[in-house]
Amino acid sequence: MRLTWSASLCAAAMLVAGCVDLKPAVPGAQALAQGLSLEPGVPEGALPGDAKPFPHASFVLLPSHSAVGLLVPVPFITEAVESAINSGAASAAASHYADIDPQRIVQRALQGSPVLTTDPGGAKLRAFAFVQEGSDDRYRLALVAHVTAPDWTGRYLVHLPTAWPVADYRNPGPAVLAGVRRELEAAAVELRTLLERAQRGQLAGTGVHANVGSLHLVGGKPGGYLSPTLVVARDVEVIEDTAEVLIFRSRGDVTSETSAGGLFFGVHRLLKSQLHTFDKLPPKKG
């Protein structure tokens, strides 16, 4: 559900304070035991409240909150203005990126993978890409595998390395389009690896927990006002921690506004250079 700017601000403030009860992300080895099959489309009922899917494409725009709510503090007017602007932005972007299909890229990367099945009892995978608008005038992409099985939902996200300047994203030339495609194809290979590791039960935590923050998780200002660096994923379960890469599992609510942690839920692969916060927590007692 779409929140007003003030409600979004309150939700983010509660997240900052650490007083929000979030759904845990549970390892999926058992759910993936029978494999998975791809389904078309994006998971409409499991997207952040501010999401704007591209028309007829497997991209989902996550717009940054503007400060229009501060200037026009009438909730339904603010919501209508922002919704119209963001729907127009998604439609415009769809025409530029029409020849790039994240779902098809993932499908190609999964060819020959042992995680695929034709068993109707297997899990269902919807693949798509989030395109998040940042308050720093850059766009950040994440390739997503949203997986569902009876009584289980999993999400795996590989965050692309480049933060694209707004001018490049909105008016992409051949070099930008080639770069986006190249990074999505590389991310699809990493996504395959995560899914296969998940099926084999190899995405268990290391026992280390941490608070993690990145503009790839929250890039816009909550309510158009707060700094995005204040909102971090708390008490995440570290799966892999190398000199260059961090893989972790986080709790979350997939229907929350992006600026209130709508991307947190699931298993994330981020480069260390993409983090602004990585604070390991003391070992838990008992």
What is the mean predicted confidence (pLDDT) over 250-271? Answer: 95
Burial class (CB in 10 A: 0-12, 13-18, 19+), 162: middle
pLDDT tens digit sequence for 213-251: 999 999 988 766 788 999 999 999 999 999 999 999 999
**pLDDT averaged over the chain?**
86
| CB within 8 Å of 33: residues ≥ 6 apart | 199
Cβ 86 vs Cβ 93: under 8 Å = no
CA angle 259, 44, 127 (to 5 degrees): 90
Burial class (CB in 10 A: 0-12, 13-18, 19+), 175: exposed
- Structural domain for 242, as ranges: 1-286
What is the rounded distance in angstroms from the CA atom of residue 154 to the CA atom of residue 29? Answer: 10
CA distances (Å), origin 82, targets 51, 63, 65, 88: 12, 9, 8, 10
What is the mean predicted confidence (pLDDT) over 165-187? Answer: 95
What is the mean predicted confidence (pLDDT) over 270-280? Answer: 98
- The pLDDT score that the predictor gives to residue 79 is 47
- The pLDDT score that the predictor gives to residue 83 is 44
Statement: residue 87 has pLDDT above 60: no
Q: In angstroms, how far is CA 232 from the centroid of its own chain?
A: 14
What are 164's strand-pairing partners?
139
What is the tally of structural domains in the chain? Answer: 1
- The pLDDT score that the predictor gives to residue 286 is 60
| CB within 8 Å of 55: residues ≥ 6 apart | 90, 91, 94
- The pLDDT score that the predictor gives to residue 23 is 72
- Per residue in 94-127, is it b (16+ CB within 10 Å) or e — as a string? bebbeebbbbebbbebbeeeebbbeeeebbebbb
Amino acid at the residue 219: G
Higher-pLDDT residue of 74 and 117 is: 117
Residue written as token pair 């009876």: 150
- The pLDDT score that the predictor gives to residue 80 is 42
Higher-pLDDT residue of 285 and 154 is: 154
